Structure 1
Amino acid sequence: MVIEKTKNKLNFLFIKKDIPTVTILVLVRGGTEYENKENNGISHFLEHLCFKGTKNFPSYQELLSEFDKIGIDYNAFTSYQYIGYYAKSSFENFPKVVFLVSDILINPIFPESEIEKEKGVVIEEINLYKDTPARYIQDLFLKALYGDQPAGWLISGSEKNIKKIKRKDILKFYSKIYTAPNILVVVAGDIKNKSIDLVLEKFSKVRQGERSLKSVFKEPKLPNFIIHKKQTNQIHVGVGFLGFPLNDSRFEKLEILANLIGGMMSSRMFEKIREKMGAAYYIRTENEGFSDHGFIATFAGLKNELFLEALNEILNVYKETKVKISDEELERAISNFIGRFYLSLETSDDLARFYGLSKFLKGKIEEPTQIIKRIKKIKKQDLINLAREVFRKERLSLSLIGQVESKTIRKLIENFD
């Protein structure tokens, strides 16, 4: 059962389900696509700083101790089009959880000393990602795909940007973004009516303001590629294409196509690159969508000596779907997707994220059964036609980490059709 409410221009979403936990998720209209070049990274930095003390708990030690002593799962995250704060607990602890989560959103104090210390933490997070090729290859892919616009920037920002952020910058961005029209409060799980009243009461104190506008997405100039030269034991690659926004009718078809290509252990990529060639340990294909853009991509760590052959084969897998897809492949990809989709909705935090992001990014609430009904109607020719539309040179992007020459990649791109 899904209940939508609005109070003081703040939107609420309550998902009632008989499970042993309850999750509160607060989504804020912010992230990289609400930033500019000068302050890129501030959304993520501010997310960290909300845990550094509030008016009720002035030090981070006091605040985090309050979270920890009731034995809950809590954290925060920043993406391109939203920032999220969540906590999952038993129903008995939920009143305390509501108080704490509302406190860090409404009453953060951003101590000057903590801002300076946290800069070091965030810079080390940036360094961690750069030292983890299987993670960093995704950032490079988006940069190659979208170019120099917010959708292609690092969520964490650059070390240079983080170092120059001042407390006044934090206060200004917080005042602009953390207002009622920019926030959706989602509660999912074992909810009673008194819990709904409590949530409405605690979050009614969120400041009023204007709805923030994100940057306008610009169609990128493709094909494009980026090589990050680094001595590694394998060559990491990201190979993909410009996709579609979440609300586009083609997005769900591309989900099934991505699953068929490289989303399962019986998929084409896994079978050819890992099982037959023995050229990779990890290889996966994913389809990602946002409010106004999206992509499909394959990420892999390839054996150095088989790199060129394996990369050619990855491109060939994409090309082959433009020609032939079997009935058995389609049935397997759809059945697998539906099964995993249901599994992804088992817990209260799963439900909060599913319904919350649907409302936040798509502007509407959809039941899982509605999505599955559409998925079951997808035909083989739908996917072949979609592959012919998407898997073209004019939509192609590649990112690579390793000792690779540009001329090698240019030749591969020239030969792709």
Structure 2
Amino acid sequence: MTILEHKYPNGFRIIYEQPLNKIPVSGVYLFCNVGPVYEYNNMRGASHFIEHMCFKGTKLNPNSVHLMNEFSKIGAYFNAVTTKRYTCYTIKCMDDYLAKSIYNVSDMLINSIFNKEEFNKEHKVVLEELNNLRNDPYSKIDDELERMLFKGSSYEYPIDDLEYHNKNSLKYNKIMEFYKAYYHPSNMFLSIVTHVPLENIKQMLKNTFFLKEKTPFAPIIMPVLQLGIEMYSNIQYNIIQSSKISNVLLSIGFRTCSHNSIEKYYLYLLSVILGSTINGRLMKILREKHGLVYSTRCEVENYEHGGKFTFFTETKFEHFLTNGRNLGVLPLLINIINDIKKNGVTNEEIKNSKGNIKGQKLLNLESISLQTKYNGEEYLFIGDSKQIVPYSKIYDKYIKGITKENITYVINKYINKKNMCVCVISNKALYLEKLKRECEKIF
């Protein structure tokens, strides 16, 4: 399907595509081009907090209960998320209620009242959420690994953290300034996947608050993203001991390419070969052969300045370095990494993993959510809808033609010591020397 774009005089934009399924359901993702990467000292956490406050009411819908009821009574799914790069408000509703849903989200984002009493109350809710995250080792290990991988760049910092919230930070007046600066139609766009014709959606938009302002807002002086990262000459380590977990969590990350690099697809295929499926090498060796882990995976993620290729495992402390007289999880994982560096991957692994990706991409089209999110993220990073390859064509365009040589190339380029960071959260004391002894065996 063709991806279409429409831009209004005030700067607001629509990114539109029709779904391949025939279900009369629409996906709507409102992207606001602001996230933690644009924050500065004493304002870190602002994007996440504003996301919370936008749910607290408008003049038309004076409280969160009334506001959420507008979506609940039509059976619509409604939520929001703050990522490092953007803030997004997501709706999934029946086509018949698309106009009402877009109108309500426009009121919510443009006319949020930010009652000071609710502001203070919601701040306590945010602190409670962050306290829970601080006690979540899975969230902690992701944050700490990214601190090392992206050190020196705007992506180094967590989305939100308890340390951001002190008596000198996130003042009411400053939050209001931040909200008014960034929550303007010229800094927003709608990614919509629906059977409703684009011309009908244009008519719907005329009655919303997204088009209330007829001219573009005064240009926002966007903070310059720091995209340079601190270069390392060897492996970086971080060991955290925590009594709140019963196992050892291990995350090994490698710095990789940017979002717009073709190499991210080579790395994606490699991640499937290694650990994204039950037939991946991680599961075969660590779980099926040795029975040492319940959870293990391999993931890729890419931003403007670069990306990460991550191995994750969880195991008992007793199985981390050794398994009786046999190798434990860490040395086995290092052996897996060294094996792909020395011998690469097999043609059969490539064929099977391509089949997995092709099937998963097709199944994902049953739900419009991934398609809607994908279009929005691609537009955010690329800035031109004509250059976006539709989600339904990703496999044929980028995956189908990947060769063994392509995989070998990215392994040699990215999987090495100077790109490598290791983070461990352990329930017992773990000595750095022992960790280094194994990790330094990487070729």
The two structures share one fold, judged by TM-score above 0.5: yes
1:54 maps onto 2:53 in alignment:
no
Distance 1:408 1:395 in 2: 20
Q: CA deviation at 1:214?
A: 4.6
Distance 1:200 1:318 in 2: 55
Task: Kindly provide the amino acid, as one letter, of the partner of residue 205 in structure 2.
Answer: V
1:194 maps to 200
1:398 maps onto 2:422 in alignment:
yes
Distance 1:14 1:260 in 2: 33
1:332 maps to 352
1:18-417 correspondence to structure 2 within 5 Å: 18-147=22-151, 149-161=153-165, 164-192=169-197, 193-202=199-208, 203-205=210-212, 208-211=217-220, 212-222=222-232, 223-231=235-243, 232-308=245-321, 309-324=328-343, 325-363=345-383, 364-368=387-391, 370-373=393-396, 374-402=398-426, 403=428, 404-417=430-443
Q: Secondary structure at the match of 2:320?
A: helix
Q: CA deviation at 1:411?
A: 2.7
Segments of 5+ residues of structure 1 without an aligned counterpart are none
Distance 1:33 1:412 in 2: 34
- State the TM-score, normalized to the length of structure 2: 0.89
Q: CA deviation at 1:370?
A: 4.4
Distance 2:400 2:186 in 1: 36
Q: Secondary structure at the match of 1:322?
A: helix
Distance 1:304 1:97 in 2: 50
Indicate how the Cα distance of structure 1 residues 340 and 99 shifts in structure 2: closer, same or farther if over 3 A, else same: same
Segments of 5+ residues of structure 2 without an aligned counterpart are 322-327
Q: CA deviation at 1:254?
A: 0.7
Q: CA deviation at 1:280?
A: 1.2
Distance 1:162 1:270 in 2: 43
Task: Kindly provide the amino acid, as one letter, of the partner of residue 343 in structure 1.
Answer: L
Contact 1:86 1:101 in 2 (8 A): no
Q: Secondary structure at the match of 1:25?
A: strand
- State the TM-score, normalized to the length of structure 1: 0.95
Contact 1:345 1:354 in 2 (8 A): no
Task: Kindly provide the amino acid, as one letter, of the partner of residue 127 in structure 1.
Answer: N
Identity of aligned residues (%): 26
Q: Secondary structure at the match of 1:101?
A: helix
What is the CA RMSD across the aligned residues, in angstroms? 1.9
